[in-house]
Structure 1
């Protein structure tokens, strides 16, 4: 419980980072001249625009700069999607780099990967793992989680990105938790998370119960039975955990499961287990949920031009293909292609029919699938993603 409260305000854990190594000068951007002092920090945020972050101080900025400047810089073929940033400020200059899960740093401005000396990289990775562990929730199966939130119990829900917290009571549900906000104030906080409009959109949340912080997913639509008077919420809403199912279908809800893994900070590993068909379906789900970092994780090049053009042209993608249609896979099992009839829904409500083709690749059968390219054409074969 204390861990979650500290994370909401930004965790400042002093940790001396003893370093020595040099890469060429680190790409820097000017900070406002009125920012005094020096500092070196790691920051974790679930998305670039997240209000809720966690930070830890790394000790001497000069030592961190020495670590960075003693490494090796190489051209990065692609910049990764990451939730972790290393920032060093000395005087009026701030330098910010992306750090991946393995302790490699990336200079986005220069398009370079920074390979630290092994002891430095492992120490940085340890700090990253500690900070991410304080930010995300524990991945716990529904069978185990339901005993932590027994029927009629009350607990806190924290939205992963905004950090807004409200209290709920579990009122029903055997395959997942059916809960209701405790008070009108709790209802208003929940509605504020959904920007003032109830929605079925799944969101990653943290369940705070006892000394545990669990990864979960919620939607924001009142429905079904009521029970708590005068709380301003007509009905209940659903909270899902790892492996929980819907009550009608008795099957897992893929969008809820995506958000559960997001709340645990384990989306990359989860997506790495997907076959081409599931991965293609996940692309559509993350795109329509506007979970852009998650959608980018599915690509070889997360910032490829075709995806950027698609984002500028379509708010939502709906598939017309029959469920279960399989991708074509090459004999060596390293290349797959999936073609689907889709509708591209623009922000101005225009809808265009399109043939959507995803090409997926992997280096070896043991490696995860990634989307190498996407294309969208109309009935006459014209490119809908042209400039």
Structure 2
């Protein structure tokens, strides 16, 4: 165990660094406006611009409804085509970090890419999609959806702040959410070392935590390395649903340091690397 700890300490020393943002994101500073403010800034029937953080592609939308988040529609068929291009021409529930602009205000937000429910505009978009802001929630829950939360923090360039305050179990949840959304920047930021994420994502269609026993974090004391047992429900391409009883190794470089996941060990245990 001492040898493993020393090796991981070397890795975290070499690879430690903050998240790198795409060039398209360097032009924008998205404020993390809470839902109460965003609700007023982007009221019902307001038209505004959505900018995808990763690609820099932008399109126009109109808010049509939503009391806990914004239900919006692309304005035109051209806007729908741009949105679909952002999602690699396949509609998806996956969350993405976005900037929402109204005049001179640019707000950090998150969107999904799946048409659902009702739609009123002639835009070749069968329904609406959802935009979430800081402290907004889904129709069924009062708290923020974890994946939308991650994407809002990423758009605001505050994931370092979020992860630095997180306990190991929160890091595990963020890590699995990053895998679920196929967000390489998020999972890489939470990892000790660089994994072949593209290869892993090609296999993973969906994932969720089935069981995560939580122990008091004060019991960890000044431990630098911990092993967390976890049951995971994978949905693997061409293999279907699989339940894995596994573990996740986390490490930090100091007693009050930033927990990171040994992602290569985790992916290997779950047979997700080439």
Task: Flag whether TM exceeds 0.5 (same fold).
Answer: yes
In the TM superposition, residue 81 of structure 1 has moved relative to its aligned partner by: 5.3
Q: 1:308 to 1:246 in 2, by over 3 A?
A: closer
Which SS does the other structure have where 2:193 is aligned?
A: coil
| CA deviation string 1:65-105 (max 9, x = no partner) | xxxxxxxxxxx6226354269xxxxxxxxxxxxxxxxxxxx
Residues 321 and 341 in structure 1, CA contact (< 8 A), matched pair in contact too: yes
Q: 1:316 to 1:152 in 2, by over 3 A?
A: closer
Q: 1:179 to 1:376 in 2, by over 3 A?
A: closer
Residues 276 and 327 in structure 1, CA contact (< 8 A), matched pair in contact too: no
Does residue 325 (structure 1) correspond to residue 213 (structure 2)? The answer is: yes
Does residue 161 (structure 1) correspond to residue 98 (structure 2)? The answer is: no
In the TM superposition, residue 343 of structure 1 has moved relative to its aligned partner by: 4.5
Q: Using the alignment, how far apart are the partners of 2:265 and 2:205 within structure 1?
A: 16
User: What is the count of residue pairs matched by the alignment?
Assistant: 259
Choose between structure 1 and 2: higher helix proportion: 2
What does residue range 1-16 of structure 1 map to in structure 2 within 5 Å?
none
In the TM superposition, residue 290 of structure 1 has moved relative to its aligned partner by: 1.2
- Which of 112, 117, 120 is the equivalent residue of 1:224? 117
Residues 309 and 386 in structure 1, CA contact (< 8 A), matched pair in contact too: no
Q: 1:320 to 1:162 in 2, by over 3 A?
A: closer
Q: Using the alignment, how far apart are the partners of 2:190 and 2:82 within structure 1?
A: 32
Q: Using the alignment, how far apart are the partners of 2:85 and 2:220 within structure 1?
A: 51
Q: Using the alignment, how far apart are the partners of 1:200 and 1:161 within structure 2?
A: 17
Does residue 303 (structure 1) correspond to residue 194 (structure 2)? The answer is: yes
Q: 1:309 to 1:263 in 2, by over 3 A?
A: closer
Q: Using the alignment, how far apart are the partners of 1:159 and 1:383 within structure 2?
A: 32
Larger radius of gyration: 1
Q: Using the alignment, how far apart are the partners of 1:358 and 1:256 within structure 2?
A: 23
Structure 1 length as normaliser, TM-score? 0.59
What does residue range 19-168 of structure 1 map to in structure 2 within 5 Å?
77-78=14-15, 80=17, 82-83=19-20, 134-168=27-61
In the TM superposition, residue 349 of structure 1 has moved relative to its aligned partner by: 3.2
Q: Which residue of 1 aligns with 2:9?
A: none
Q: Which residue of 1 aligns with 2:166?
A: 274
| CA deviation string 1:148-171 (max 9, x = no partner) | 112211101111111111111111
Q: 1:385 to 1:291 in 2, by over 3 A?
A: closer
Residues 287 and 316 in structure 1, CA contact (< 8 A), matched pair in contact too: no
Structure 2 length as normaliser, TM-score? 0.80
In the TM superposition, residue 257 of structure 1 has moved relative to its aligned partner by: 0.9
Consecutive unaligned residues in structure 1, runs of 5 or more:
1-75, 86-130
Q: Using the alignment, how far apart are the partners of 1:297 and 1:310 within structure 2?
A: 18
Q: 1:356 to 1:239 in 2, by over 3 A?
A: same
Measured on the aligned residues, the alpha-carbon RMSD in Å equals 3.2
Consecutive unaligned residues in structure 2, runs of 5 or more:
1-12
Residues 179 and 201 in structure 2, CA contact (< 8 A), matched pair in contact too: no
Which SS does the other structure have where 2:207 is aligned?
A: strand
